A and B are shown apart, each in its own frame.
Chain A
Amino acid sequence: MTGRTSTLTARLAVLARPGRARALAGFGLAAVLLMAVAPVLLSPFRLGLLGKFLCLAMVAVGIGLAWGRGGLLTLGQGVYFGLGAYLMAMHLKLADAGPGGVPDFMLLYGTGEVPGWWEPLRSPVVALALVVLVPAALAAVLGWAVFTRRVRGAYFAILSQALAAAFAILLIGQQQTTGGTNGLNGFRSFFGYDLADPVNQRMLYLIAAGVLIVMVVVARQLMVSRFGEVLVAVRDQEDRVRFLGYDPAAVKTAVYVVAAVMAAVGGALFVPIVGIISPADVGVVPSIGFLVGVAIGGRATLLGPVLGSVAVSWAQTTMSEQFPSGWIYLQGALFILVVAFLPGGLASLRTTLRRRRRPAREEEPGAPAPVSSDGPPAADLLPEGSRA
């Protein structure tokens, strides 16, 4: 038995870097579960729900990078989620209306004419490009302006939240062109495919699952790369990084743009799967909601944000079915509990317990704990209170 284990270990070691084989196996397993098992086991309704959760989890992957690794507490990811979602929704409305047609709500509330800034979105290619480019550009400009002025910590959090509030208010105020409080809904087709057809719904789910897996792969690469190491360095000792010749503003802006694009793609896929996007999905409350799952799962880990986000979404749906108004309190309580007692999230539960049991064990040299890879969150290696 031991002999077989050791040959296996030796064979795995051939795959060179530690963690790589495990990661490959993990991604394979996740792909099988999400793309082969779930569609068989779940009813079309539940599968649609899971698809929605996966879209929200894409936002979480970005927050995990920006907040967990980069220390950027973004309370306004709803803006980027919303930009991606609205751009996609606008394209779907125009496509439904046909060439030169006018979306239904504009005939009801507006002038009956399509505003000029909607027109480019008639083209599917332009729409897809804008879904990525608009949020990326906004995040780049905003991030650069904010980070070069050394706005950080709580000030950045408040600023990002104000942005989410302003974005939602702007959408509500523009009923003629954005659907106002109702948002955009009633989509009939997605790039020519009928959205009422269960086969197409399943295809949308599979696209969402595939995109999420790709995002996690990208996040992993960013975490283990040199950029990921510098990112952690910027999070913990911004000034020191500056004295080594890096511009922390550039590092932060880069990760902020990545998080924004991930949120936007999540939003763009959310629209055809859920069938509606409204200001209630992009404002302050959903923006904080994105964060809760990330915090509970473990913000600095690779899978913590995804699993936390899906778990919270699932709990929210289940709870809301039974206690419609109770969920928001439970969500708040969970968030407070995690922040107060388990700053590393559930992913750090094991290490936290182990440390409680055996306090202050000297780390053996030569037998180090993995730090910035996808091992246990490195925060646990430090005494309480030594991290902001």
Chain B
Amino acid sequence: MTTPEIDLAAADALLGDDTARFRHDYLEVRGLRVEFGGFVAVRDVDLTVTQGDLRFLIGPNGAGKTTLIDAVTGLVRAAAGSARFGGTELLGRATHRVARAGVGRTFQTASVFEELTVLQNLDIAAGARRGPATMLRRRRATPDAVEQAMETVGLTALRDVPAGVLAHGQKQWLEIGMLLVQDAHLLLLDEPVAGMTQAEREETGELLRRVGSQRVVVVVEHDMEFLRSYADSVTVMHQGRVLAEGTVAEVQQDPAVVEVYLGAPAGEPATATEGPA
């Protein structure tokens, strides 16, 4: 089996040219609050991510990173706040309507349709706007976007293989490919390189950088080396709040971040052990 590789030229063809699209998208989250019972998982979070700014979202377990993405994509209900993308309010919409507003996401565990082939997975991702007449017919030709996405994530040779038999990293690439053909303009990626080899990480990083130049991308990631290599900016979350925001260097020198990651300085009560109000 030849090792699949990311094809950045195909990615460019798929992503299009910014001047051609002539718009700059951005995600604007204001005062977002999510509660589960009495527990506040995300509180008063403000977050602005623009196109061309590959944003990483980090924080200890339970910091609210995934919950934030869940709230933006309609999986959990937000108690307060707003999340706007391209002038559209996302909060309060059904999940599939959020998706149709141009928001795509991946999950911590790669979730592809295992029994369907790579081609079928991508074709489904490309087709949410198809009418009944197209849906009820067989796929005659592969849509261009699907072809380009397969090239981009290096799965063209495996197009007719069930996604369930793909290697772990390939599944994650397939998921990214699905976001691209879905024509998502806001991509929320939850640990996209978890479990990948070093070579795969680098290829994924390059691809994300390319995607980030044309789309709004937020990456939740624990891998600090990956973050240092590819993040344009970083938002650090802790106990449901935004703790710090800035470039990698700025964030690394922030005392609050150091405290959370390395433990409380002597003499002060550790905030990490404090229960939420």
Contact = CB atoms under 8 A, between A and B. Distances in A.
B139 to A, nearest CB: 6
A365 B164 contact: no
A225 B133 CA distance: 10
Contacts of A369: 162
Contact of B128 (A245, A368, A372, A386): A245
Interface residues of A, number: 35
A381 interface: yes
B204 to A, nearest CB: 20
Interface stretch (B98-106, B223-231, B250-258, B260-268): B98-106
Interface of A: 17, 221-222, 224-227, 229-230, 232-233, 236-237, 239-248, 363, 365-366, 368-369, 371-372, 378-379, 381-382, 386
A366 B138 CA distance: 21
Contact of A244 (B94, B125, B157, B165): B125
A142 B105 CA distance: 31
A381 B116 contact: no
Given A226-B139, A381-B162, A246 B96 contact: yes
Nearest to B1: A365
A48 B165 CA distance: 48
Contact of B117 (A222, A225, A368, A386): A368
Given A371-B117, A371-B162, A381-B164, A245 B136 contact: no
In the A-B complex, the 4 residue pairs with the smallest Cβ-Cβ separation, listed nearest first, are A245-B128, A245-B99, A378-B115, A368-B160
B132 to A, nearest CB: 8
A242 B115 contact: no
Interface residues of B, number: 41
B114 A236 contact: yes
B135 interface: yes
A379 B94 CA distance: 31
B196 interface: no
Contacts of A222: 136
Contact of A237 (B111, B138, B158): B111
A230 B160 CA distance: 16
Contacts of A242: 95-96, 99
Given A378-B115, A381-B164, A245 B124 contact: no
Interface of B: 1, 73, 75, 94-96, 99-100, 104-105, 107, 111-117, 120, 123-125, 127-130, 134-139, 157-158, 160-162, 164-165, 178, 182
Contact of A243 (B73, B135, B158): B73
B138 A243 contact: no
B1 A233 contact: no
A17 B138 contact: yes
B95 A371 contact: no
Contacts of B124: 226, 229-230, 233, 241, 244, 246
A315 B219 CA distance: 59
A128 to B, nearest CB: 24
B19 to A, nearest CB: 27
Contacts of B138: 17, 221, 224-226
Contacts of B123: 226, 229
Contact of B99 (A244, A366, A371): A244
Given A226-B139, A246-B96, A381-B162, 7 more contacts: A226-B130, A227-B135, A240-B113, A243-B99, A247-B96, A378-B115, A381-B165
A224 B139 CA distance: 9
A232 to B, nearest CB: 6
B100 A245 contact: yes
B116 A244 contact: no
Contacts of B94: 247
A371 B127 contact: no
A225 B134 CA distance: 9
